[in-house]
Structure formats: structure tokens, C-alpha cells
Amino acid sequence: MQLIITLLVTFFAGLGAGLGTGFAGMSAAAVISPMLITFLGMDPYMAVGIALSSDVLASAVSAYTYHKNKNLDIRNGLIMMASVLTFTVIGSYIASLVPSKTMGNFSVFMTFLLGIKFIVRPVMTTKEAMAEVSAKKRAIQSILCGLLIGFICGFIGAGGGMMMLLILTSVLGYELKTAVGTSVFIMAFTAFTGAASHFAIGGKPDMLVFSLCVVFTLIWARIAALFANKAKPETLNRATGIVLVILGIAIMGVGFFF
């Protein structure tokens, strides 16, 4: 019976995380962690480690799919990643000095609001419009936005994928597919760093849960990324919005009822 419960929980956790990653560059930790903690009674620290591990391959295969379809800005993605990683550490340190739980549900609520945003006000920027911005200006914007995203992620502890998608589309003016491709590219490296540190500190995870989460998340992320890269902008905005709204409601529901 316990095996069946584990299979069901990891399948639906991987389904939600994979779709969120492939469609919107969302961190798997936002979906997998609460489900493992709530339904399998797993230690929160280990649950986050498993979620981040699932995020590594899912984000990497999604980034590869977006890159194959020329929907990935590697140059500015690397610049932003350096800023994000640096200021995540700084944000984490400051958060340790000012303990607060008032923004604990920030990532989940933001997922829901961002989903509404994509449905009501879709991102219709074109690659031609993106190309009009000079390389120097784009690089400076990437550094500054990376600092903001990293600090918020470190201080709050979540929301990196959603913050990147919001800033890439709304502030930097990225076309949606390129924004998601760049976001999952960055998330693959940040998730690997986080997962490695979690297991180095917390020890070896439950290998069955670990393996199932990684595999299910990878499969659904690949499916979502393939669909996203073939879809028309209007369809992708609507699909991304619906996925984010459903995930936001589901995660808030899990937190409220359980």
C-alpha cells in the first residue's frame, strides 16, 4: 500500500513540476516539496533536496529543447546566472539575520497571479523587437535583474523560476519562448548547486522517491517543452497561464487542507 501511495504522490508531483518547468521555467521545488512533505511525511530539508534534483534534469532537457528551436539567450543567461547565484547567497545571509515567515507563500501566490497575467495580458513580444535592444544594454539589464532575482530568492527561499519569467518578459522585454528557454537554462545550474549542497549537508535521500520524482518530472518537462516550442504565441500564453493557475490553486489547496 505504501508503495502505491509513493507512486501516486511522486507521479502527480512530477506531473505538476514537469509541466511547470517545461511551460514556464518554474522551479520543481514549488510543487514537489509540499507534496512530499504533506503526503509522504518527508523531512522538509530532504524534500527540497529531492525537488531540486528533479529540477536539474528537467530544466536541462527543457533548455536543450528550447535551444534546438533557437529560443534560448545563452550569453545573457550566463550573465544573469552569475548575478543570481551571487545575490542568492547574500539574500540567504540577510534572511538569517532577520527571521520572518510573512512571505512564506510568496512563490505559490505569485505562480497563481502570473498565470492570470498570461491569460489576461499575453506576452506578444517578437524576436525582431528583442533584437532592437543593444547587446551592452541587454547585458547591463541582465546583471541588474539577476541581482534582484537572486536577492529575493535567497531572502524568501523560493520563486526563482517565476521571478525570472516575470522579469524576462515584463522588464527585459523577452519573447515568451526565449524567456522560458533562458529561465530553464539558468535554473538547471542553480538547482544543481542547491541539490548538491542539500545532500552534502543532509545526507543520502530516499532513493525510490528520489528516482521516481526525477524520472516523472523529466518526462513531463520534455513533453511540455516540445509542445511549447511548436505552439503559436497565443496558444502558449494561454496554456502557460492555465498550467500556472492550476498549480497555484493546487499547491495553496494542499497547504490549506493538509
Domain ranges of the chain: 2-257
- 82-91, 151-160, 243-252 — which is least confidently predicted? 151-160
| Position 100 confidence tier, pLDDT thresholds 50, 70, 90 | very low
For all residues of the chain together, what is the average pLDDT?
85
Task: Give yes or no for residue 30 having a pLDDT over 90.
Answer: no
Q: Are 115 and 248 in contact (CB under 8 A)?
A: yes
Question: Does 103 have pLDDT greater than 80?
Answer: no
Task: Classify residue 78 by burial, with Cβ atoms within 10 Å: 0-12, 13-18, 19+.
Answer: middle
CB 95 within 8 A of CB 155: yes
